Chain A
Amino acid sequence: MTYKLGTLAVAGLMAASPVMADLVFPSLSYRTGPYAAGGIPFADGYQDYFTMLNERDGGIGGEMARVIECETGYNTEKGVECYESTKGEGSLVYQPLSTGITYQLIPKTTADGIPMHTMGYGRTSAANGEVFSHTFNYPANYWNGASGAINYLLSENGGDLNGKKIALVYHNSAYGKEPIRTLEELSKKHGFELSLVPVDHPGQEQKSQWLQIRRDRPDNVIMYGWGVMNQVAVQEAANIRFPMENFIGIWWSGSENDVLAAGAAADGYKALTFHGVGDNFPVFDDIKTHVVDTGKAAGAGDQIGTVLYNRGLYAAMLAAEAVKTAQEIHGVADITPAMMRDGMEALEITEAKMADLGLPNFGPEFNVSCENHGGAGLVGMTQWDAEAKEWSLISDFSESDMEVIQPLIDEDSTAYASENNIEVGCK
Chain B
Amino acid sequence: MFYREAGDFSTTYAEDQQTFPIKFDRWRYYVVLFIAIVVVPFFINDYWANSLLLPFLIYAIAAIGLNILVGYCGQVSLGTGGFMAVGAYACYKFMTGVDIWWGGELLFRLPEFNIFFSVIMGGVMTALVGVLFGLPSLRIKGFYLAVATLAAQFFLVWLFNRVSWFYNYSASGQINAPERDLLGVLITGPSTEPWATYLFCLFFTIVSAVIARNLTRGASGRKWMAIRDMDIAAEIIGVNPLRAKLTAFAVSSFFIGISGALFFAVYLGAVEVGEAFGITKSFLVLFMIIIGGLGSIFGSFAGAAFLVLLPVLLKVVGVDWLGWPTDIVAHLQLVIVGLLIIVFLIAEPHGIAQLWRVAKEKLRLWPFPH
For A104, give its contact among B178, B189, B270, B325 (CB under 8 Å).
B270
Interface band, chain B:
35 or more
Specify which of B51, B267, B326 lies most central, judged by the most chain A CB atoms within 10 Å of its CB.
Answer: B326
Quick check: A100 and B275 within 8 Å, CB to CB?
Answer: yes
Assuming A108-B190, A111-B191, A420-B189, is B272 touching A4 (CB within 8 A)? no
Among the stretches B19-27, B168-176, B222-230, B232-240, the one at the interface with A is B168-176
Is B241's beta carbon under 8 Å from chain A?
Answer: no
Quick check: B275 and A173 within 8 Å, CB to CB?
Answer: yes
Inter-chain CA distance A16–B52, complex, in Å, is: 25
Is A365's beta carbon under 8 Å from chain B?
Answer: no
Specify which of A4, A77, A174, A200 lies most central, judged by the most chain B CB atoms within 10 Å of its CB.
Answer: A174
Among the stretches B63-71, B131-139, B245-253, B315-323, the one at the interface with A is B315-323
Quick check: B320 and A13 within 8 Å, CB to CB?
Answer: yes
Q: Restricting to B49-83, which residues have a CB under 8 Å from any CB of A? A: 50-52, 55
How many residues on chain A are close to B (CB under 8 Å)? Answer: 55
For B176, give its contact among A5, A16, A40, A103 (CB under 8 Å).
A103
The prevalent SS among residues of A at the interface is helix
Is B327's beta carbon under 8 Å from chain A?
Answer: yes
Closest to A180 in B: B171
Quick check: B269 and A104 within 8 Å, CB to CB?
Answer: yes
Whole-angstrom distance between the Cβ of B321 and the nearest chain A Cβ: 5
Inter-chain CA distance A36–B334, complex, in Å, is: 15
Chain A residues, CB < 8 A from B275: 75-76, 100, 173, 201
Chain A residues, CB < 8 A from B220: none
Inter-chain CA distance A348–B285, complex, in Å, is: 49
Chain B residues, CB < 8 A from A100: 174, 272, 275-276
Closest to A175 in B: B172
Whole-angstrom distance between the Cβ of A167 and the nearest chain B Cβ: 19
Quick check: B179 and A421 within 8 Å, CB to CB?
Answer: yes
Is A423's beta carbon under 8 Å from chain B?
Answer: no
Chain A residues, CB < 8 A from B50: 80-81, 84
Question: What are 15 sample pairs from A and B whose C-beta atoms fall under 8 A apart?
Answer: A4-B45, A12-B320, A31-B325, A31-B330, A69-B326, A71-B329, A76-B275, A81-B50, A81-B51, A88-B47, A100-B272, A107-B269, A107-B270, A177-B173, A200-B274
Interface residues, chain B, CB within 8 Å of chain A? Answer: 43, 45-48, 50-52, 55, 96, 161, 170-174, 176, 178-179, 189-191, 267-272, 274-276, 278, 312, 315-316, 319-321, 323, 325-327, 329-331
Extra pairs beyond A71-B319, A80-B50, A106-B270 (18, CB < 8 Å): A5-B52, A8-B320, A31-B325, A32-B327, A36-B327, A71-B330, A76-B271, A103-B172, A103-B272, A104-B268, A104-B269, A174-B272, A177-B173, A178-B171, A201-B274, A201-B275, A412-B171, A421-B179
